[in-house]
Amino acid sequence: MLANGINECIQCSIDNCEYHAKKEDYCTLDRIKVGTHEQNPTQKECTDCESFKNQA
């Protein structure tokens, strides 16, 4: 699953995340947690990657 530190099962375009692969739009984590900031999410904009960590 992880090849060269890239998890090809998790695509990600958030390049200011600590876990972004930088050279490619993938995550470097083994797994992520997806959550919501809404009580009753009905659209993808209502979901969040709770594994996100702002790049220092």
Q: Does the pLDDT at position 3 exceed 80?
A: no
Residue 2 above 90 pLDDT?
no
User: How much is the pTM?
Assistant: 0.85
**Domain-embedded: residue 11:** yes
- Does 15 fall in a domain? yes
Does any domain span residue 10?
A: yes
Strands (E), the chain: 2-3, 6-11, 26-27, 34-36, 47-49
Residue 56: per-residue pLDDT: 79
Residue 20: beta bridge partners? 27
- CA–CA distance, 39 with 54 (Å, rounded to integer): 25
Separation CA 51–CA 38 (nearest Å): 17
Whether residue 33 is contained in a domain is answered as: yes
Q: Does residue 56 belong to any structural domain of this protein?
A: no
Q: What is the mean pLDDT of the chain?
A: 94
Q: How confident is the model at residue 1 (pLDDT cuts 50, 70, 90)?
A: low
